[in-house]
Amino acid sequence: MDKQTRREKEPKLYRLFLQSRKSNRLAGAYLLYGRRNAPLKETAMYLSQSLSCERDVFACNQCPSCQRFLNHTHPDFLLINGENKTIKKEDIHALEDKFSQTAFEKGHRLTYVIHCVENRTDEAANAILKFLEEPKSGQVAFLTSYNPDKVLKTILSRSISIRVDPIDPKGFCKKLEEREFASGKKKIHLSAGACFILSRLFSDRDEVKTRIEQDGSFLTGYQAAEDFFNALPVSLNKASYALLLEISKRKESACYNWLYLTINEIFSRVLLGEREDDNPFTDVIRSLSAKKDNVRKGQKLLSEVLSRRQLNLNPTLVSAKLIMALKGSNK
């Protein structure tokens, strides 16, 4: 996403960053938060790159410093990615060691991104807090979170929080529907439902390509959720059977994360009261709209499970609890 697109799609963020750069009054830490399909990591990376750009306030992508950044060889930057793993104390200690010295490149700032900062151990959270409390001169942190309620309040209080909105999920969905992906030796087109979910979970086509072509767990998890949703407007009992049957077939633990994320995304649409005509899950949303209290309980369960996804929770037990929540059981 270039500078002009950011100006149009993220005007508040653009103005804040521009004013801070021109007045030389950057904060020590920023927390970028938003929905799953908001470009949090991409935005944090772009702002970090901009702080090292040798030609402009925003990254030009042409100067030597920008080129080093794009080639992942910039000495004054570090990314800690907690999207698919738990951030540990050792990760923060590595950050401390790297930034224990001044910037390698004259006139540049030391910048780092901690993506999905909520996915961390308690020890790592304390280490992050200490690092934020004792910043070096010229050091800037960009933290990101899809669930800021899970971020320590003390970390929030030391950061400027900025909401980042999705760029164009409908347009992104259409592009995914038109694109061909490799699945083994075959070329496939994704279903409308799969494209809808992916466009609400991601904002980058390359990341979707990686998920589809190098990691088959998304399609496996999504298919289980789709079978559940296909049966749901007919009967909750049939949907329950379909879900438990799919769970019994799936052995790859990674697919359950995508199953829970897909169901959770549709639950969010129900609770928001959305009525999109082009939503392939319209019938499901309508069938659940009269059970919002039960859906809310189900979403709370899924949010807890997703925040603890590294613990390998029993998927049959999780599914049974989800079904009980939808049925309104208090057990």
Task: Transcribe 3-46 into DSSP letters.
Answer: HHHHHHH-HHHHHHHHHHHHHT---SEEEEE--TTS-HHHHHHH
Using a CB cutoff of 8 Å and minimum separation of 24, what contacts does 276-284 make? 278/170, 279/196, 280/191, 280/192, 280/193, 280/196, 281/193, 281/196, 281/229, 283/233, 284/229, 284/232, 284/233
- pLDDT for 331 equals 58
Q: Assess whether pLDDT exceeds 70 at residue 102.
A: no
Residue 100: pLDDT over 80: no
Q: What is the pLDDT of residue 204?
A: 80
State what percent of residues in the chain have pLDDT above 90: 50
What is the value of pTM for the model shown? Answer: 0.74
- Model confidence at 107: pLDDT above 70: no
With 60 as the cut, is the pLDDT of residue 104 above it? Answer: no
Q: What is the DSSP letter of 83?
A: S
* Per-residue pLDDT tens over the stretch 308-322: 755 567 889 999 999
Q: Report phi then psi at 293, rounded to 5.
A: -65, -40
- Which whole number is the average pLDDT over 168-181? 90
The tens digit of pLDDT for each residue in 269-301 reads 999 887 766 789 998 998 899 999 999 999 999
CA distance 293 to 176: 33
Q: Hey, what are 158's tokens?
A: 């030391």
Distance CA 21, CA 24 (A): 5
Q: Where are the alpha helices (DSSP H) in the chain?
A: 3-9, 11-23, 40-52, 64-70, 89-98, 122-133, 153-157, 169-178, 192-201, 205-213, 217-231, 236-249, 254-272, 282-288, 292-307, 315-327
- Mean of per-residue pLDDT scores for the chain: 87
Q: Give the per-residue pLDDT at 313.
A: 76
CATH class of this structure's domain 3-163? alpha beta
Q: Which residue has the higher pLDDT, 124 or 216?
A: 124
Retrieve residue 301's tokens.
């369960």
Residue ranges of the domains in the chain? Answer: 3-163, 215-327
Dump pLDDT digits (tens) for 133-171: 888 778 899 999 998 988 999 999 999 999 998 878 888
Identify the pLDDT of residue 267.
94
Q: What percent of the chain has pLDDT over 70?
A: 92
